[in-house]
Amino acid sequence: MAESEEIILGDLDRRLLRYLQAEPSLGHAELGERAGVAASRVTRRLARLEEAGVIRGVRAVIDWRALGYAVDVSLRITLEKSHPRAFDEFLNAARQVPEVTEIQTFLGRVDVRLGVIATDLAHYQAVYRDRILTLPHIADIESLMTVATVKADEALPL
Amino acid sequence: MIELDETDRALLAALARDARLSAAALGRRLGLSQPAAWRRVRRLEEAGVIAGRRLELDAARLGFGVTVFLGIKLAAKGRASLEDFERAVTAIREVQRVEHMLGLYDYRLRVVARDLADFERVLRRRIMTLPGVGQVEANVMLSEERRPGPIRGTACDPAGDRGERARTTGGQAHGSE
């Protein structure tokens, strides 16, 4: 984060990013129409934002439920921090588990959160026992299951 | 449920990394004609496997230096209060994600803010004043990695080609650089 310098956005940049956040597949002509500028100007602005590293890209969002992964669990993990390489070794091992979809580290009561998916509870049980509990340096785990996702746009309040 | 073959999985993995790839570019990569690649993408969209596309912005460069995960317990339970809470919490611009949970607390929130002072303002003015809010636990995010997930295994047999998967996923360990 240290090397990421803050970019000052103009009014047009902000509007374009807002439209794109809401509908990432909008074309430059459509964006220009909404913002009231020529498509060529949109193209130049977006190229600049991409060069500046503000726009990292567009990713397809996979709905794992549609692929049969009905179970979505949040594991909140505390590590044995007395070991100097505990974080690195834990994270490296967690990356090798295919069912782990997200890894976050925190400052707070919890050290690491893993998002884990499974096809059903039996599969989850197997992943949990064979792949999660065997990860190194775990001091404590709490599990929460996602019942419903109420909001997931992850948009920035620009 | 939709059945995926190897080509579908490779296609999905490519689009999860870069959804702006054209059907022609995808086709070249996977040895398909452009119309064949396009048909496969359409099929994945229609089956809901590709739920949508997300613009990825660098939050720090845009001045949002702090992301906090909140665990919230509702004080007064009951159907009515859940709906009131959900309606109010989704309207908060700084709240990026809301999940209803089963476990230690009732809701998991992902909140973005300019800095800790800004986060405190959002917490005190917007979150703590939500209808029915009880105990709140905050964890400040230090780092985040999105993993590709079990795309390369088959849905019903996630213990597929583990060696291959370990190599491919290991190569993009820090996807957020």
Q: Does B174 touch chain A (CB under 8 A)?
A: no
Q: What is the pLDDT of residue A24?
A: 93
Q: Does B94 touch chain A (CB under 8 A)?
A: yes
Q: Cβ of B18 and A6 within 8 Å?
A: no
Which of B112, B104, B97 minimizes the C-alpha distance to B137?
Answer: B104
- B66-140, CATH topology level: Alpha-Beta Plaits (3.30.70)
Q: Give residues with Cβ within 8 angstroms of A95, minimum separation 6.
A: A103, B145, B147, B169, B170, B173
**Residues of chain A contacting residue B51, judged by C-beta atoms under 8 Å apart:** 61-63, 66
Q: What is the pLDDT of residue A103?
A: 98
Mutate to test the interface with B, among A43, A106, A107, A123 (most CBs of B within 10 A): A106
Tell me the β-bridge partners of A145: A73, B102
Question: What is the rounded distance in angstroms from the CA atom of residue A132 to the CA atom of residue A125?
Answer: 10
Are the folds of B1-56 and B66-140 the same?
A: no
What's the average model confidence in pLDDT over B15-27?
94
pLDDT tens per residue, range A93-149: 999 999 999 999 999 889 999 999 999 999 999 999 999 999 999 999 999 999 999
CA angle A36, A37, A41 (to 5 degrees): 155
Which of A74, A103, A119 comes nearest B156 by C-beta? A119
pLDDT tens per residue, range B80-111: 788 899 999 999 999 999 999 999 999 999 99
Q: Cβ of A156 and B156 within 8 Å?
A: no
**Residues of chain B contacting residue A158, judged by C-beta atoms under 8 Å apart:** 62
Q: Cβ of A66 and B170 within 8 Å?
A: no
pTM score of the predicted model: 0.86
Position B139 pLDDT exceeds 80: yes
**Residues of chain A contacting residue B100, judged by C-beta atoms under 8 Å apart:** 146-150
What's the average model confidence in pLDDT over A64-86?
94
What's the average model confidence in pLDDT over A70-78?
97
Instruction: Residue A46: count other Cβ atoms within 10 Å of its Cβ.
Output: 18
Question: What is the rounded distance in angstroms from the CA atom of residue A131 to the CA atom of residue A111?
Answer: 19
Instruction: Please name each of the domains of chain A with its CATH number.
Output: 11-51 (1.10.10), 64-145 (3.30.70.920)
Q: Does B116 touch chain A (CB under 8 A)?
A: no
Domain ranges of chain B: 1-56, 66-140
Position A78 pLDDT exceeds 90: yes
Question: What is the rounded distance in angstroms from the CA atom of residue A110 to the CA atom of residue A107?
Answer: 7
B1-56: CATH class = mainly alpha
Please answer whether residues B159 and B152 qualify as being in contact, where contact means their C-beta atoms are separated by less than 8 angstroms.
no
Question: What is the rounded distance in angstroms from the CA atom of residue B10 to the CA atom of residue B16?
Answer: 10
Q: What element of type H or E holds A105?
A: strand A100-107
